Amino acid sequence: MSIVDQALQTQLRNIQAKTQKTFEQLSSIVLNSGLSKHGEIVAMLKQDLGLGHGDANTLTHMVLRAASAPAEPKAASGASDAVLDEIYTGPKAALRPIHDKLMAAINGFGEFEIAPKKGYVSLRRKKQFAMIGPATNTRVEVGLNMKDFPGTPRLELQPPKGMCSHKVKVTGADHVDEELIAWLQNAYDGAA
């Protein structure tokens, strides 16, 4: 099971604990709601079950994916791909190889959680160490949290108290180089 799948399973367990409902019960609520649009389902889950946007969004993806492929043995196994497919859709689809190369490097660091958000993924250990997502149709931005680390023209310092202390703009998979991977490792190590 990939790190993304593990993170989604953890998120699903947390949703089940919050709602005191099994995945089957949650699926039934969604499928029997009469709603078919993703945004409507997310809004219903937030209102009726008190879920946050991220949990409601992920649960919606998982339920709709399971419903469209009932023969698939694990409902959540492809959910990570569904989340990334939504993030990297349309003109942004060409940026997916950048994301995949970044994640391949980060997976070598050790254990961490992936929390899908709207338009990006958050990478966490005890705290968030990175964010990855398309900023435009031609660029992925990698947000990094590295306390007291100097900025460079490539490693842009961000305003204090933001979600990340630094940002790197990546326009091609070939830009996922040793320097960027070292910064990611530094952020990962600092989040322990």
pLDDT at 47 over 70: yes
Reported as a single tens digit per residue, the pLDDT across 93-126 is 999 999 999 999 998 898 888 888 888 999 999 9
Alpha-carbon distance of 123 to 33, in angstroms, equals 32
- DSSP letters for 41-87: HHHHHHHHH---HHHHHHHHHHHHHHHH-TT-S-TTTTHHHHHHHHH
Q: At what angle do helices 23-31 and 53-68 cross, to 10 degrees?
A: 80
Those residues whose C-beta lies under 8 Å from the C-beta of residue 154, and which sit 6 or more positions away, are 168, 179
Q: Which pLDDT value is given to residue 80?
A: 65
Mean pLDDT along residues 171-186: 96
Single-letter amino acid, residue 90 = G
Q: Report the share of the chain in percent with pLDDT over 70.
A: 92
Q: Which two tokens stand for residue 71?
A: 């023969």
Q: Which pLDDT value is given to residue 70?
A: 40
pLDDT at 76 over 70: no
Model pTM greater than 0.75? no
Task: Label residue 71 by pLDDT band (50, 70, 90).
Answer: very low
pLDDT at 72 over 60: no
Query: Domain ranges in the chain?
Result: 3-84, 92-190
Those residues whose C-beta lies under 8 Å from the C-beta of residue 42, and which sit 6 or more positions away, are 53, 56, 57, 60
Reported as a single tens digit per residue, the pLDDT across 147-177 is 889 999 999 999 988 889 999 999 999 999 9
